[in-house]
Chains A and B, each alone.
Chain A
Amino acid sequence: MKALRAVALAQLAFFLAWAGWEEWKVASAPLIILETAPVDPRDLLSGQYVALRYSISNLQLTTGCPKAGTRLNTPIWVHLKPAVTRVVGGMEWKVWTAAECSLSRPAVFPVKDLTQGVWVAGIFSDSGVVYGIERYYFSEDRIREMGRIRTGQMLVEAAVGRNGKLVMKRIIY
Chain B
Amino acid sequence: MKRGHRKWLEGEVRAWADEGLITGKQADAILARNRKENARPSIVGFNLLAALGGLCVALGIVLVISHNWENIHRFWKLGVFLFVLLGTGEVLSALPERSRIGRAAVLILWILLPLGGIGLWGQVYQIHGDSFKPLLFWLILSAPIVWLTADRVAALLHTAGIIIAAWVGAVSSGTWLTLRISSVNWLMGRKVEQPDLTLPAVVSAYGLALLGVVLMWAWAFYQARKYLGKGSMRTALVAGLGFLLWLGMSRTVFETGGMAGAFLLGGALTTAFWGLRALIGLDELESDLTAILATGGVLYSMTFFWGWHSFFPLWGDVGILAQPYLFVIAVASACVLLLADFTGIAQSGWPDRCLRILVATPLLLGLAMFFFPPKAVALLANLSFALLGLWLINAGVVQNRSARINAGVVLTGFLVFTRFIDYFGTMLQSGMAYIATGVIFMLLAYSLNKGRQLLLARAQGGME
Check B122–A45 contact: CB distance below 8 A: yes
Q: Say yes or no for A84: interface residue by CB 8 A criterion.
A: no
Q: Identify which of residues 122-162 in chain A touch chain B, using a CB-to-CB cut-off of 8 Å.
A: 125-126, 132-140, 142
Q: Say yes or no for B126: interface residue by CB 8 A criterion.
A: yes
Q: Which of A8-16, A93-101, A107-115 contacts B (4 or more CB under 8 A)?
A: A8-16
Check A126–B66 contact: CB distance below 8 A: no
Residues in chain A near residue B185, CB distance under 8 A? 69, 71-72, 126
Residues in chain A near residue B128, CB distance under 8 A? 43, 46, 49, 132, 134-135
- Shortest distance in angstroms between B86's beta carbon and chain A's nearest beta carbon? 6
Give per-residue flags for A1-25: 1 if the beta carbon is below 8 A from chain B beta carbons, else 0: 1011101111110111011001000
Q: Say yes or no for B127: interface residue by CB 8 A criterion.
A: yes
- Shortest distance in angstroms between B250's beta carbon and chain A's nearest beta carbon? 16
Given the interface pairs A12-B85, A46-B123, A167-B125, the reply to whether A126 lies near B93 with Cβ below 8 Å is no
Residues in chain A near residue B432, CB distance under 8 A? none
Which of A11, A132, A136 has the most C-beta atoms of chain B within 10 angstroms of its own C-beta? A11
How far apart are the CA atoms of A69 and B121 in the complex, in Å?
Answer: 34
Give per-residue flags for A37-69: 1 if the beta carbon is below 8 A from chain B beta carbons, else 0: 000000111111100000000000000000011
Check A135–B126 contact: CB distance below 8 A: yes
Which of B120, B126, B184 has the most C-beta atoms of chain A within 10 angstroms of its own C-beta? B126
Give per-residue flags for A68-87: 1 if the beta carbon is below 8 A from chain B beta carbons, else 0: 11011100000000000000
Residues in chain B near residue A140, CB distance under 8 A? 66-68
Out of A4, A45, A72, A136, name the residue touching B148 (CB < 8 Å).
A4
* Other A-B pairs beyond A4-B148, A47-B123, 20, CB < 8 Å: A4-B145, A8-B85, A9-B89, A11-B85, A11-B89, A12-B86, A22-B125, A44-B66, A45-B62, A45-B65, A45-B66, A45-B116, A46-B68, A46-B119, A68-B184, A71-B185, A125-B174, A136-B126, A137-B122, A137-B126
Q: 6 tightest A-B contacts by CB?
A: A8-B89, A45-B119, A47-B66, A126-B184, A46-B123, A168-B126
